[in-house]
Chains A and B, each alone.
Chain A
Amino acid sequence: MSLIYEARWVLLEGALNTIIITLAASLLAGAMAFSAGLARLSSIAAVRCIALVYIEVFRGVALLVQLFWMFFVLPFFDIHLEPITTAILAIGLCNGAYGAEIVRSAISAVPRGQREAACALNYTRLQTLWRIVVPQAIPMMLPPFGNLMIELLKVTALVSLITVHDLSFQALTLQQTTMQTAAPFTAVLVGYFLIALVITGIFRLAERRAGVGLDRGGLR
């Protein structure tokens, strides 16, 4: 235990980096998920196609390979990114591809009658999307988005392999410098769990607030 106390700054730095990457990558993933998910439903074939390519590429390639590719191959094209930027980009883009399918399916799950009613009330397509469809789709997206964000938190452990000092990296370092295994790994185990708990709590709250009026079978 005293080891954990002595190493607290190292561990906190790791936790901080893990949290920064999780938050920034989640924001990027959310933005990509919405853009690509909506683009998949566009009436313009080229837009649908671009979104599909993005989704399939980033879902189909192992995240570790994406990380390595951005970290080791991009410099050959004279693109040099900080390790942490690389981490945020790769994780954000990859999870955005998964999120896009969540957005697409939630949007398509809004009953067609809602769109027809909006059309009969003379809403434009954009007004229908943002005022009628998306507000009803969001409560459906929240539970899978919560899952996705916890998945995202966990895959951030991979960034230790491109030299980012995240929670896992710090644990490995401590193990090597102190020759102790149980303490550092138990500490990061608890660390990940606590962060995941906070994420779960935030999504629970959001679900409760977003579901007003749509309660239990309110979506016909």
Chain B
Amino acid sequence: MSPIITLRDVRKTFGPLVVLDGLNMEVQRGEKVALIGPSGSGKSTVLRTIMTLETIDGGEIEIDGESLWHMKRGSRVVPANEAHLRRMRSKVGMVFQQFNLFPHWTVLKNVMNPVRTVLGLPEPEARARAEELIALVGLQDKVNQYPGRLSGGQQQRVAIARALAFRPKVMLFDEVTSALDPELVGEVLNVLRMLAHEHDLTMIMVTHQMGFAREISDRILFFEHGRIAEEGTPEKVFNCPTNDRTRAFLTAVRQA
């Protein structure tokens, strides 16, 4: 089977700054991949380009065998229009470091309203789906709270439920525990652990939790200067990294 996500020679610049420098990357269906690497190496940018939050300046991204930024019109290939982008986005969900819940809606509405609006699900169905997911992340007693009243860990669990409500094929997690107090990290990691057992769900996560990355990922990608400097199974990357920079990074992280 073809990879669910392919990046081919992807370039992304912000002015003079080259953030992704001819990046090649493949993620297989159902694979759990962790992106690690120093700050500024382009990890978030990779996720954001897959989610179409950033455009790319060169190369090609394919999701589920289809080009993200281009589409076929007759026999010609033209830049993607909004309809194409929306169809592609529907395969992917994303969870952010800062949660980004909608503060004017209760927990239930945060999870239920998007699928009503975007998928057009009827209210009872959307509500049932939302309640099920809210229970899955352990927040059934918070359904009618506003996000401002929840702890960071609870908010992040709602954000995960909100993304899952669309039943995406791919979930992107961008440092989802980095904004949390240490004692709240565990509850969010537990939800991710549970998702990692979903055989069909592809997970791409940027994380600084090396222990967690090692525990649940099939493959580790070490980023440096907008490229993959080293990749492999957790055993390989963590135990016998071949790249000096990887070794230096891991040493620095372990000392922290």
Contact A131 B117, CB 8 Å, known A213-B148, A215-B148, A218-B146: yes
Contact of A116 among B82, B100, B113 (CB under 8 A): B100
| Residues of B close to A3: CB separation below 8 A | none
Contact A116 B117, CB 8 Å, known A121-B162, A122-B90: no
Interface of A is mostly: loop
- Expressed in whole angstroms, the Cα–Cα distance for A219 and B114 within the complex equals 20
Contact of B96 among A113, A215, A218 (CB under 8 A): A113
Contact A122 B146, CB 8 Å, known A113-B98, A213-B103: no
Q: Total number of A-B contacts with CB less than 8 angstroms? A: 74
> Nearest Cβ in chain B — how far from A36, in angstroms?
24
Contact of A212 among B93, B98, B104 (CB under 8 A): B104
Q: Is A50 an interface residue (CB 8 A)?
A: no
| Residues of A close to B37: CB separation below 8 A | none
Contact A220 B98, CB 8 Å, known A120-B93, A122-B86, A213-B105: yes
| Residues of B close to A116: CB separation below 8 A | 53, 96, 100
Contact mask B97-133 → A, CB, 8 Å, 1/0? 0101111111000000110011000000000000000
Near A by CB (< 8 A), chain B positions 23-41 give: none
Interface extent on B, as a size class?
20 to 34
- Expressed in whole angstroms, the Cα–Cα distance for A132 and B163 within the complex equals 16
Give 18 A-B contacts (CB < 8 Å), ordered by A residue: A111-B100, A117-B96, A117-B100, A117-B101, A121-B163, A122-B86, A122-B118, A127-B118, A131-B113, A131-B117, A135-B104, A136-B103, A136-B104, A213-B103, A213-B148, A218-B103, A218-B148, A219-B103
Q: Which residues of A contact B (CB under 8 A)?
A: 111, 113-114, 116-117, 119-124, 127, 131-132, 135-136, 212-215, 217-220
Q: Which residues of B contact A (CB under 8 A)?
A: 51-53, 82, 86, 89-90, 92-94, 96, 98, 100-106, 113-114, 117-118, 146-148, 159, 162-163, 166
